[in-house]
Structure 1
Amino acid sequence: MKMIKLGDLASYINGYAFKPEDRGDVGLPIIRIQDLTGNAHDLGFYNGEYPPKIEINNGDVLISWSASLGVYVWNRGKALLNQHIFKVVFDKEHIDKNYFIYALMCKLSEMKTKTRGATMKHIIKKDFDAIMIPYPPILEQIKITNKLDRITKIIEQRKQELQLLDKLIKARFVELFGDPIRNPKGWDVVTIGDIIADVRYGTSKPAVEGGKYPYLRMNNLTSDGHLDLNDLKYIDIPDDEIEKCVVRKGDVLFNRTNSIELVGKTAVFDLPGDMIVAGYIIRVRLNGRLLPEVLSQYMNLEVLKDILRSMAKGAVNQANINAQELQSIKIYVPDMELQKQFIEMKRQVDKSKVAVQKALDETQLLFDSLMQKYFG
């Protein structure tokens, strides 16, 4: 199989280093890495002259080369590219655009091994240009792309099914308990502090190789209220400190420090074994007035996320909500029978989610094996 260097295949135009004062409310959107990853809620605009090369339009291929490495196809209209992102210009060799995207997706792990920098990891242009990808004839590229496109479509359908099931849970929550702000059903309104029996910060100790206990960090909590154990670390903790930071089934976990977009992620720990919780997470144990799943679902409603973002304090790229602020948040306390009814409904929906997730995992495994076959 013929191989080709990325630098010999296309040109890569870096974005412009817009200053904070360049960002306004009118003009063309300024696209940063977080606007590509979906972790931003503060899109900025620029209304002035700019180099034509940093303009992006629908269909442009973008590559983030700093902090969070990724490849994206832009589809949100005319915009301007910020620094740390390449726009790909296919001006050197003939290649199918989608084939190129799949090849880059497969090479992201190799790119990560070549990153530099102590704080913001990045790949320099020389190392990026030197990365090799397979370069078969154009008809073979199209054949490979069509096969991967079909599997990608199935994967997206499975993900959409999971999203619809999550939306069903949220809709049923509001249907049973009413809007959390207006409280049309007249439930008692208390603060979260009134429903808590114990609240603790996690440990600040670092993870260690071969540690005794699984170590839950903020990246193990998803933005939609689940646990993600794909990147699980381990830790050793002295016996006399275990009770301060151990998390057990039924505990509610609240991510107190993160970006402004992700601060406040909340999930119920529903696993049988003990784990240790990290310092950026608050462990909450309830006193029985509210069920853990009800609190977690409440905190993950979009209207509550807006409240959390408005409360958060901190420096750029890091926001914080402390335990006292968490306990000051108002919450309604629905009838316990209704809470149990919601839990049972959620349990049934979760069964459906398990089946869909299994199908998704199997399809993803097929996709990954083909990616390795074609590009590995």
Structure 2
Amino acid sequence: MREDNSPCLPPGWTWATIRDTGEYINGLAFRKSDWGDEGLPIIRIQNLTDPSKPFNRTSRQVDPVYIVHRGDILLSWSATLDAFTWRGETGVLNQHIFKVVPDNRLVHSPYLYHLLRHAIDLLKQSSHLHGSTMKHINRGPFLSFQVPLAPLAEQRRIVAEIEKHFTRLDAAVAALERARANLKRYRAAVLKAACEGRLVPTEAELARAEGRDYETGEQLLQRILQERRAKWEAEELAKLRAKGKEPKDDRWKARYKEPAAPDTSDLPELPEGWVWARLDQLLGSLRNGISKKPDSESGTPILRINAVRPLSVNMEEIRYLSGSVDQYADYVLCQGDLLFTRYNGSPELVGVCGAVRAVDRKVVYPDKLIRARLASHLCLSSFVQIVLNVGLSREFIARRIRTTAGQSGVSGSDIRSVPLPLPPLAEQRRIVAEVERRLSVVEELERQIEANLKRAERLRQAILKRAFAGKLVPQDPNDEPASVLLERIRAERAAAAAAEPKRRRTRRTGGNGKRTEPVAKTLPLFGAGGER
């Protein structure tokens, strides 16, 4: 692609602007009042990047130039920058997308599609890319960007060679995607087996085989509850004494609220030696995070909301609060803390849980997260995070998620009420070790798959780079030079434009007061539709 240091082109090639290659029609802006359950689908950027996304539809009458048909080239120029071949049903073009109408006298449509994808990759790396969050390319620099144009016959040979290479790449990528999907299913199967007592031998089975006794989950739960109460009493007594009050009897102990056991009437039977518990029975505390918003480039590190994902807490996903960490002492995270997502725009991420592992500095957490601290070391937080993210425990949370103003959330009281299976402590340790062993293998394989997918994308870009440097297929001296063809077509366009009477394009309003679409005029540049 042509910049200041332009490479030499092969014989018969020429530089052309993107403007030369055809018509680029900018989409329409639709109001919510234009949406409905019937009519043509409105093709938005999300429908290009993810064909499974639902359409908004409209019965609004539009000029035919904004209608998109199967096989049309579409180019998104804001947020997502890429070219696509439309494979869906006939629809209407939304704003921030160009419909590309190639000038087939000059350019072979599949050649232009690949050329545009390659040009966009280069534009992304240039000064023509604007915006910090909403990346976009302005119309003028885009249209003026120069691209290498091969002779028309050679374009077809280039496309055939590109598609031969891409077919092999597509098959490799599809195999990698299948492998990634299989790993996802395997991960889910491992976690499901862990929560159902099928991943490792149960403590009951081992005790029978070894002829020994063991502590059941029910006995363990009673010890946890005793330790929970003892810890509360110690803390309450310390508070009283700090106020100069020495209890004369034990009546103050009656203020302790014994956590309720779960209703097991609808819960399935557990493996021998396991028991159903309610998360509240295992907790020492449950607390929302800091409501103050990050306001500094340094100071006290505070986790981002996206730091918490199922079975993980990324302690590097941080922003900063002004002030010393001592001001937020009650919110400092410790190893073994459980963090829940309290609010999120994606319901599937609400209520997910991760355990804090090693802590090498003081970090606090925001109010859209909830911190849970277990009352006793007799229950492993690394085990609790497993069972809370799958099976009946996760389903319990999912049923209690509420959505308001686009934000989905779950309450602390609902989290306290989650039922979870509790095996003997020794079995918890074995389950955690086996889950971590298997998932570490899965994660390594996923890293390899991701690396190979990136390699495939680099190969794709390298193929396009060779193609548009004239190195993918040999040149044929009998082909009409692209420069000759381009000059002839430019002359024909100029003559047609001079012969056509000028008409002023106006926006009109219909009898109902609503604006109707202007009549689109076929131009060698962009069609109707404005700049951003």
Q: So what's the TM-score if we normalise by structure 1?
A: 0.70
Identity of aligned residues (%): 21
1:365 aligns with 455
SS at match of 1:45: strand
Write the mapping of 1:28-177 to structure 2, written as runs, cut at 5 A: 28-38=40-50, 43-91=55-103, 93-94=107-108, 95-96=110-111, 99-100=114-115, 102-104=117-119, 106-107=121-122, 109-110=124-125, 114-116=129-131, 120-136=134-150, 137-138=154-155, 139-171=157-189, 173=191
- 1:69 & 1:295 partners in 2: Cα distance? 39
Summarize the Cα distance change of 1:244–1:303 in structure 2 as closer, same or farther, 3 Å threshold. same
Task: Give aligned pairs, total.
Answer: 361
Match for 1:34: what amino acid?
A: Q
Aligned partner (choices 323, 327, 335) of residue 422 of structure 2: 335
Any idea what SS the aligned residue of 1:334 has? Answer: strand
Q: Which runs of 5+ in 1 are unaligned?
A: none
In 1, the alpha carbon distance for the partners of 2:21 and 2:147 equals: 10
Give the aligned residue type for 2:404. K
Amino acid at match of 2:293: S
More contact order relative to length (CA 8 Å, sep ≥ 6) = 2
Q: Say whether the 8 Å CA contact 1:263–1:320 is kept in structure 2.
A: no
Q: Could you tell me which of 401, 424, 441 is aligned with 1:351?
A: 441
SS in 2 for 1:65: strand
Distance 1:28 1:169, change over 3 A: farther
Distance in 1, matches of 2:281 and 2:141, equals 52
Q: Which amino acid aligns with 1:84?
A: H
The structural deviation recorded for 1:110 is: 3.3
**Structure 2, unpaired ranges of 5+:** 1-8, 197-265, 467-532
What CA deviation, in whole Å up to 9, does each residue of 1:150-171 have, x standing for no partner? 3343234223322222133335
Whole-Å separation in 2 of the counterparts to 1:364 and 1:235: 32
Q: CA RMSD in A?
A: 4.7
Distance 1:305 1:107 in 2: 44
After superposition, the C-alpha distances for 1:216-260 in whole angstroms (9 at most, x for unaligned) are 5456667x877899x967758734257566666655555555545
Q: Call closer, same or farther: CA 1:254–1:190 in 2, change over 3 Å.
A: same
Distance change (3 Å), C-alpha of 1:273 and 1:65: farther
Task: Select which of 319, 326, 344 maps to 2:407.
Answer: 319
The CA deviation at 1:299 is 11
Closer, same or farther: CA 256–29 of 1 in aligned 2, 3 Å: farther
Instruction: Classify 1:152/1:51 alpha carbon distance in 2 versus 1 (closer, same or farther; 3 Å).
Output: same
Give the corresponding residue for 2:480. Answer: none
Q: Aligned-pair distance for 1:20? A: 0.9
Contact kept, 8 Å, 2:343 with 2:369, in 1: the verdict is no
Q: Residues 334, 157 of structure 1: CA spacing in aligned structure 2 closer, same or farther, 3 A cutoff?
A: same
Match of 1:69, SS?
strand
